């Protein structure tokens, strides 16, 4: 029996989600050659809700120094300065992979998230992924929608078209079988007779 405040017997915490948080990805900085010693610049972080923030940074001695504006608990704008240590791990076939060191837990992390306390990893910020908070029905809808899009169908009610020209028959048949199974699960969740 489900306890009070739970759904389907699973406790759903009211935590913020990763998809709504500002983030800084070390791989993106590496691609844009921002992790070269002596580099300084400004860059803009954007989110899906069309908001953005400008960050000034410099990279010296494997430390990324950042300056940006943040909002405190009362909503006032606060200038923030922070330094994030960057470490590199050698790859097996040459080169190296940069990682941030989380200021809270000192774990190697690819993505840091902006919080009121500064830049920290997902676990320290107590952020969850949206997919971990969806119901079984929502997950089934998402799975059916993804398979239908792969086959070129853009809604849930249209018939599945013939095999696309650039797809092999074996792949097409495998996707059709997966889609049939996913639709069966979805309809069983929608009509639990």
pLDDT tens digits for range 105-146? 999 999 998 887 778 999 998 888 888 888 889 889 889 999
Average pLDDT, the chain: 82
pTM: 0.65
Contacts 24+ apart (CB under 8 A), 32-40: 34/59, 35/59, 35/64, 35/86, 35/98, 37/61, 37/62
Q: What are phi and psi of 127, to 5 degrees?
A: -100, 145
Residue 92: what pLDDT? 93
Question: Residue ranges of the alpha helices (H) in the chain?
Answer: 26-31, 136-150, 169-190
What is the distance, to the nearest Å, from the Cα of residue 167 to the centroid of all Cα atoms in its chain? 29
Residue 71: what pLDDT? 59
Please state, in angstroms and rounded to a whole number, the distance separating the CA atoms of residues 52 and 191: 43
Structure confidence by residue, pLDDT tens digits, 74-90: 666 767 788 999 999 99
């Amino acid at each position: 029996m489900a306890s009070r405040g739970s759904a389907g017997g699973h406790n759903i915490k009211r935590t913020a989600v990763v998809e709504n948080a500002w983030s800084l990805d070390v791989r993106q900085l590496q691609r844009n050659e921002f992790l070269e010693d002596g580099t300084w610049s400004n860059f803009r972080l954007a989110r899906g809700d069309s908001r953005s923030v400008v960050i000034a940074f410099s990279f010296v001695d494997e430390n990324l120094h950042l300056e940006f504006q943040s909002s405190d608990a009362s909503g006032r704008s606060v200038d923030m300065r922070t330094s994030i240590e960057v470490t590199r791990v050698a790859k097996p076939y040459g080169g190296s992979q940069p990682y941030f060191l989380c200021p809270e837990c000192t774990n190697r992390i690819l993505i840091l998230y902006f919080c009121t306390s500064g830049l920290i990893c997902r676990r320290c910020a107590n952020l969850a992924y949206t997919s971990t908070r969806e119901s079984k029905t929502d997950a089934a809808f998402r799975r059916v929608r993804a398979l239908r899009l792969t086959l070129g169908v853009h809604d849930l009610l249209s018939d599945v078209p013939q095999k696309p020209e650039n797809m092999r028959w074996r792949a097409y048949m495998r996707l059709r079988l997966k889609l049939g199974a996913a639709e069966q699960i979805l309809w069983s969740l929608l009509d639990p007779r």
